[in-house]
Structure 1
Amino acid sequence: MSNLSSFPAISDTPLDAIFHVLPSNLGAADAGIYLSSGAILYILWRRFVRRQSTRLKGPPTTLGSYLFGILPFLRNVPDVGAVFEGWAAQYGEVFSVPGILGSRTIVLTDPRAIAHFSATETYSYIGTPPFKRFNRKLLGEGLFTSEGDSHKRQRRALTPAFSNVAVKDMGPIFFDSAYKAKAAWDAMLEAEPSEAMILEVQLWMNHISLDTIGLAGFSHDFGTLTGNISNIASIFDAFGSQQSAWDIAILLLSLIVPAVDNLPTTRQTLFNQLTKEMQNLGREFMNNANTDKSIMGLLMKSSNSATISQEEVMSQIKFLLVAGYETTAISLTWALVELCRNPDIQTKLRNELLCSGDPTWEELTAYGSYLDAFTCEIMRMHPPLPEIERMAAQDDFLPLSAPIQTADGDFVNEVLVRKGQYVKLSIDCINRSEKLWGPDAKVFNPARWIDESNGVDQQRAKELQGYRHLLTFSDGPRICLGKVFALVEFKTVISVLVRNFTFEFPNGPDTEITRRMGMLPRPGVAGEAGYDVPLRIRHYQSY
């Protein structure tokens, strides 16, 4: 490992040194000589010393724009992960892409570099300014937006609420939501003249997820599964409608000029409405808070002991609502999509689940079942969060698994990242990389998880850290605190629905499903507006 002290820090420029030693009694002429010399030294420093940060290969700046970098280009790409994978093969497993205002963003696909990056998040790598602005405005000063010691303290306070014991106690809530959906579908099918109905399943997955996180998170029943209309649910759903050119332009421009984010757009109006609704919900909980076994009820015990402030509790409520609702609803919808794409997988999963009644806690958390394999493959192929982008808080060296060739033609075993540079992980790319997962990486194949000695462990993916060699839940200090909650909820809902219903696309198994931009990317039918996913549903009947 190179010694960072041998490189000048960003602030330690020759011009700084000139000012520090400039005598106070100099005449104008002598001062001019000193300053001219300092300017020359500064130019030389910028040209020969400052550029000692590793110059990486990558797609040319002309692929993007000077103002917005590669973002406009990627908006029109159907599979961003595959594009990054192609660049990694062409330029090396660590490369750079055009960033905003002519900068370059470093992209990591090397497992060793990813492990180092993940292990040092919240201290060496922190949220980017646009990320912080957006999330602090929406969520406040909570776990998601905090860094360093503050993040560590808040995470410690939240950990008991997401322990295995706590999540196990929430199991009845997961089953209750799933069976409420089943009851509603049973009634709808009985009213149908035929044995099947067309159902927009993403809306129902939203209902399941919202009602579950409301009850498990802060003992609030949104009641959407029983017909209640929730303002928060309506706002979330509205984020899936297609954005206008004005919305997109303002969103991009806000990355450079933050003030424009306050200009009136449809997205900004929804954003303000969502913030208001979440604040009202948070205040309602805080006014009636008790120490029940909900996530926030357990957290209140920590806040009462001054471990976490009331403002931070309010922020956690908002974050829990956004993260717990959106990500699980997306994963459940993709699960139903894959069952329609792969009828043989649907049959195999159903046959396993029909062997017993509701799965136990031990069955929901054990490895080796087909339900577990199906869950892992959904998390691999369809991560709700497609990428992670951070900013270096200090100069750092990223170690590499194997040498790469720089833009200068040199081969290096580590990459110097300068303070202020952006670093990106494309989760879509890494989770589905053929170099990491083998030639069938783009194929939905739960079998790879059944016997990992002949599957995952035979691939380079085993070099990756994180849950089951995946980056879906991130890794290191920022690994998703609620991953057990999310996985158990997901398995519970799938176990109930697949045992009782069959799923298929109305227009056949070749129906193309693509991603639509919402709060997070959601599935939607290609060529259709919004993110409706209509499926034909029947009662399962064994003969």
Structure 2
Amino acid sequence: MLGNLASNVAIICIGFILISVLKFILHLIKIRLALNHIPGPRPSSFLWGEEWLLYHSLPGSPYLRWHKEFGKVVKFTGAFGHQIISITDPRAISFVIREGIYSFPKPNGVREWFKATLGEGILWVEGKAAHEKQRRSLAPALSQQSVRNLTHIFYETSSKLASQWTKLLDESHADEIEIEVTNWAGRFALDTIGRAAFSFDFNCLSGEPHALAETLDGLTNNENKLSSFYMRALFWIFPSILSIGKKGEMIRRTKQELGEIASKMWKDAKIAGDCEDRTLMALMLKADQASGQRMNEEEIVSQMRTTISAGYETVSAMVVWVLYELSQNPKLQSELREEISTVRDASFDELNNKYPLLDALLKETLRLHPAILENHHEAADTITVPLSEPLFGTSEMHLVIPKGTIIAIPLNVIQTDPEVWGPDAHEFRPQRWIERKEAGICGGRELLAFSEGPRSCIGKAFALTEIKALTVTLLRQFAFSCPYEIEAFQSFVIRPRIKGQGPSSLPLLVRKL
């Protein structure tokens, strides 16, 4: 009797698996047939498609080759044959990230990654009503006025970092020493987001790096491990892979550690009840108390996890790339010192309006070194997308995207397009931003490092002001050079490393002025 029951259960399970596999195959065939007219590379692997190539190439380089050969809309194959469309057409991108944004949510795999690591916060949430509710809860705390009131904290943490570097130079009794700035950029970013957002001191710049930084680095700095490749290749179609193996354990531990810190911060804030404070925490508490739709604690903790992670990962990567580009250009360092010499500890408005070369430095760094290389979306239904020019080899001025198709928007291709940026598009030349402004070309929508539209990065003003304060502080006290050949390295964000050597790193020679 029990044997027959077990046999029947096994048959049902096998039947369910076979039906699921068949549905998956039919779905892939349907999409493949619908996209058959779109040009693109032949799959380099029957099993992995182009995932192996993307993972083991210089970050973004396959996209550059594909779009140069096939035009502004390219189809390529992912693992197990699923189809991905890479789009650089400006009209199509505008439609996807602006008017059609809620019809193009993040792919399930991306959402599951954010849910598994950060919870159901603003990076995870989809749907117009749910997203707008979460954005409204965060917007007051990350507005320009709020960031204006936090600028002094950015200078305080910047000065702490400068003091630590001065101490290292003094102890060495040398005019110049080598400093691995990636680690220090992470310390700065975590201390700044802790103090400015939550009135919490991680104390990274005074003592050793916080354990949370080591956890985040361990999760995202993948060192080209095979397990990380499998996860990247498969989570698009099998999101449950995020809970498997050592990587799954690291994801759960990261979420737990972020959650424990965030919960303690939130409980302490509610007990203190200090709503006059200008930090993100205080403004979230104030908004939550005044709202008719109060967030539950898990929603609030998820937003805090997201804020900490984004404030650490993306800001630290941007800081390192700014320092790298400065190290390559002593003349630019001198010109910037002259520009910032008139005011010490410039205000929010001065940082963002008075220093055109400083602003150009950050924009040019973001143009060539976006922290996130690709934005991904998935068609929630079969949708017709307008194009600015005919599809390659056709006269079609639109693109029909089948439901379930994943769309990639490769920032490195868009932001180095010679049609937009000129023949020197791949060169680092901050002056181009000043020239563009003088010529009346100042829309800035070609720069998608913070995205655009309803789902653009809500922390843009916070991040840019923070990095400008640090750059001004360091340029006044130090000069930088780099004795190594550096290349881009793919972790969760794009970071530099010594060419061919291990995980992300940027050793700079630092000299006190």
Question: Which residue is equivalent to 1:245?
Answer: 226
Matched, 1:86 2:68: no
1:87-139: CA deviation from partner (whole Å, max 9, x where unpaired) = 22322211211123213211111111111111145511011111111111111
Shift of 1:351: 1.9
Matched, 1:340 2:318: no
Matched, 1:437 2:425: no
Question: Which residue is equivalent to 2:489?
Answer: 516
Question: Which residue is equivalent to 1:276?
Answer: 256
Matched, 1:312 2:299: yes
Q: In the comparison of the two structures, how many residue pairs are matched?
A: 478
The answer to whether the 8 Å contact 1:199/1:536 transfers is yes
The answer to whether the 8 Å contact 1:189/1:196 transfers is yes
**In structure 1, C-alpha distance between the alignment counterparts of 2:232 and 2:87, rounded to whole Å:** 25
Matched, 1:494 2:479: no
**In structure 2, C-alpha distance between the alignment counterparts of 1:300 and 1:352, rounded to whole Å:** 40
Aligned partner of residue 105 in structure 1, secondary structure: strand
Question: Which residue is equivalent to 2:480?
Answer: 503
Matched, 1:223 2:203: yes
**In structure 2, C-alpha distance between the alignment counterparts of 1:496 and 1:402, rounded to whole Å:** 46
Question: Which residue is equivalent to 1:137?
Answer: 116
Which of the residues 380, 389, 414 maps onto 2:376?
389
TM-score, with length taken from structure 2: 0.88
Question: Which residue is equivalent to 1:322?
Answer: 309
**In structure 2, C-alpha distance between the alignment counterparts of 1:100 and 1:438, rounded to whole Å:** 36
Which of the residues 201, 207, 216 maps onto 2:187?
207
**In structure 2, C-alpha distance between the alignment counterparts of 1:483 and 1:73, rounded to whole Å:** 32
The answer to whether the 8 Å contact 2:176/2:510 transfers is yes
Gaps of 5+ in 1: 1-45
Matched, 1:102 2:75: no
Task: Name the aligned partner's letter for residue 73 of structure 1.
Answer: L
Task: Pick the structure with greater CA Rg.
Answer: 1
The answer to whether the 8 Å contact 2:140/2:146 transfers is yes
Question: Which residue is equivalent to 1:533?
Answer: 506
Which of the residues 455, 463, 467 maps onto 1:478?
455
Question: Which residue is equivalent to 1:23?
Answer: none
Gaps of 5+ in 2: 1-27
Which of the residues 37, 41, 53 maps onto 1:59?
41
The verdict on how the C-alpha distance between 1:456 and 1:236 changes in structure 2, with shifts beyond 3 A counting, is farther
Task: Name the aligned partner's letter for residue 447 of structure 1.
Answer: Q
1:377-420: CA deviation from partner (whole Å, max 9, x where unpaired) = 111111101110110012211111111235xxx32011111111
Aligned partner of residue 504 in structure 2, secondary structure: coil
TM-score, with length taken from structure 1: 0.83
Aligned partner of residue 127 in structure 1, secondary structure: coil
Shift of 1:168: 0.5
**In structure 1, C-alpha distance between the alignment counterparts of 2:469 and 2:355, rounded to whole Å:** 16
Shift of 1:73: 0.7
Question: How big is the alpha-carbon RMSD for the aligned residues of Structure 1 and Structure 2?
Answer: 2.4
**In structure 2, C-alpha distance between the alignment counterparts of 1:74 and 1:279, rounded to whole Å:** 33
Shift of 1:243: 4.3
**In structure 2, C-alpha distance between the alignment counterparts of 1:500 and 1:378, rounded to whole Å:** 21
**In structure 1, C-alpha distance between the alignment counterparts of 2:481 and 2:422, rounded to whole Å:** 29
1:62-88: CA deviation from partner (whole Å, max 9, x where unpaired) = x2x3443311111222142x4323322
Q: Which moved more, 1:487-496 or 1:397-406?
A: 397-406
**In structure 2, C-alpha distance between the alignment counterparts of 1:515 and 1:373, rounded to whole Å:** 21
The answer to whether the 8 Å contact 1:69/1:100 transfers is yes
**In structure 2, C-alpha distance between the alignment counterparts of 1:452 and 1:283, rounded to whole Å:** 46
The verdict on how the C-alpha distance between 1:98 and 1:221 changes in structure 2, with shifts beyond 3 A counting, is same
Tell me the percent identity: 30
The verdict on how the C-alpha distance between 1:364 and 1:145 changes in structure 2, with shifts beyond 3 A counting, is same
The verdict on how the C-alpha distance between 1:240 and 1:89 changes in structure 2, with shifts beyond 3 A counting, is closer
The answer to whether the 8 Å contact 1:231/1:277 transfers is no
